[in-house]
Amino acid sequence: MGRYRPVTSDDISAISSLHKAGHSVKDIAENTGVSVRSVSRWVQQISNSGDDDLPRKKLPPGRPRKTHPRTLNIIKRDVDKCPSISGRQLKENNHVLLGEVSVRTVRRRVHDDLGFKHFVARPKLLLKEAHKDNRLQFCRKYLPWDTENW
């Protein structure tokens, strides 16, 4: 991704109307928040088209995604409920939505699109009865001590 936000259709219509009103490219860029270079490119396309229709934005290159933004919301809800859920479990729980999507794609959506990081919970050491007894003996041994003895 670039440093600037993408140009939306609202920006394009604002650029077109300001250009037809006679504003300069620099003024249009300041008013819309779009870079001067992008504004000049859109003004050139508007001038070359000749008709009153706005020029269409090109579709982004590449294959269309198999997951819909609504599907991402459902996955996010599942991960929020249970943070330790795996990609395979997500796919099994939402088989209708993710039936034709691979487990790797599900994991990629969770990590890249939703921003959840992979982590493994640290194992918690369990105290056995012997450990608890040893702690109690230690506490009882030093219970009568005051601060001077410590």
Buried b (16+ CB within 10 A) or exposed e, 34-65: beeebbebbbeebeeeeeeebbeeeeeeeeee
Alpha carbon distance, N-terminus to C-terminus of the chain: 61
CATH code for residues 1-59: 1.10.10
Structure tokens at 134: 């040893």
Cα separations (Å) of 126 from 59, 74, 123, 131, 143?
A: 56, 36, 9, 9, 25
Helices 36-49 and 25-32, packing angle to 10 deg: 120
pLDDT band of 149, cuts 50, 70, 90: confident
Return the structure tokens found at 74.
């459902």
- pLDDT tens sequence across 71-130: 999 999 999 998 888 999 999 999 998 989 999 999 999 999 999 887 776 777 888 999
